[in-house]
Structure 1
Amino acid sequence: MELTDARWRKSTRSGPDGGNCVEAADNLSGVVAIRDSKDPVGPVLVFGSDSWRAFVTQLIERP
């Protein structure tokens, strides 16, 4: 999958020191890409938009 147009952004819960951060690119058609901000050229996980939305919804609704 081509990710050159991905606009990466860090989690709003990431600290200012750049520690253990997750970055997401949700500007891609039909998918959301996730990577480790400490390794921007490393592996990327890609999820279908609907699957990602369901995952995030479960996190938000969790007691």
Structure 2
Amino acid sequence: MSLDETLESLVDKYGLSQVLFGLVTVCHEKEDHIRTNWQDATTAKAWHSDAVALENLAAKIRTI
């Protein structure tokens, strides 16, 4: 199964906003891991920014 097919399956099963909120969780976990284990504030901040952007998008989609 390709990545596109896997994503489509997840969206079909959970809905787009829930898949996006799942990605928000992944981004925050990556941020915490990088900040804790690598002390790389720049990369951690990038993951945090991605999480915030995805969270905002997911919230907008949920209200449609």
TM band (smaller chain): 0.3 to 0.5
**Which has a greater percent of strand?**
1
Higher RCO (CA 8 Å, separation ≥ 6 residues): 2
Q: TM-score, normalised by structure 2?
A: 0.32
